[in-house]
Amino acid sequence: MKEHSYTSLNFSSQPMVSPSITIMNIMSEIMVIRALYVATRLRLAEYIGDKPLALAELAAAVKSDPTTLLSLLRALASIGIFAETDPQTHTFANTQLSWSLHFDTPGSMRAIVLLWGADYQWEAWQRLEETVRTGQAAFPAHHGGKTIWSYLEAHSDDEHIFSTAMTAMSSSINPLILEHYDFSTYRIVVDIGGGYASLLHELLAHYSHLSAILLDRPSVVEDVKVLYPRKLFRLDLSDTLKS
């Protein structure tokens, strides 16, 4: 039988011994994802902050069972998210990875974790087989006919997390766009579905002559007016897309 090389998806450079271990690692990620989501929901990174915190104090702060919280923290510490600095008092400190869950960290991944771990996201992905078999989107069928966009319009907290997560993703690539594309010859830039306008904000900071148009849902545009003092032209999505 021909030899095959298999590479792990756990960010390790070591090749996997067999495909069965690779598949096992992939499937077990569901436990890591959920643990990370719960830790983010509990704001563990924020409560620990700059100073290591003992389990008893941390459990009281986040209103959680100490024994179960310890299991959660140790599971995440085993992959570099948090570190147990004192096994006697079960004191934990932030690591570079857990700091990225802090809302105030530059490039914070908090919103991204909350987005992909949200119940409405999991409910849709759990019905992927249904979508594959029928060709119909599972989300509207299980949300009273609502698309994800109409769902977000009706759930402001989820919408804010969604838009903040999109901004976090955009912020990671905006410097590359500015580095490789020259906007000096343009007068107006339009960002369709631009969310919280992070790209437009960067462009306006680098090119003072530019005007920017953000095209997105009305509720998102209203949020942008609060986030950025510079005026963005507002387009009504329904009027713009009329044929």
pLDDT value, residue 3: 38
Would you state the pLDDT for residue 30?
92
pLDDT of residue 91: 97
Q: Would you say 40 and 110 are in contact if contact means Cβ atoms under 8 Å apart?
A: yes
Confidence at residue 226, expressed as pLDDT on a 0 to 100 scale:
77
Task: Please report, for the chain, the start and end positions of each structural domain, with discontinuous segments joined by +.
Answer: 15-105, 108-175, 182-243
For 182-243, CATH number out of 3.40.50.150, 3.30.360.10, 3.30.420.140, 3.40.50.880 equals 3.40.50.150
- pLDDT of 230 reads 54
Residue pair 224/200 in contact (Cβ under 8 Å)? The answer is no
pLDDT of residue 7: 34
Residue 194's pLDDT is: 87
* Rounded-to-integer distance, Cα 66 and Cα 224, Å: 41
Can you give the pLDDT at residue 229? 59
The pLDDT score that the predictor gives to residue 112 is 96
CA 32 to chain centre: 15
pLDDT, tens digit, 9 for 90 and up, residues 179-197: 999 999 999 999 988 888 8
Instruction: Confirm if 228 and 220 have CB atoms less than 8 A apart.
Output: no
- CATH 1.10.10.10, domain 15-105, yes or no: yes
In order along the chain (243 residues), what is the average pLDDT of each group of 10 residues?
38 65 90 96 97 96 97 97 96 96 91 95 91 92 88 92 91 91 92 88 89 85 73 48 34
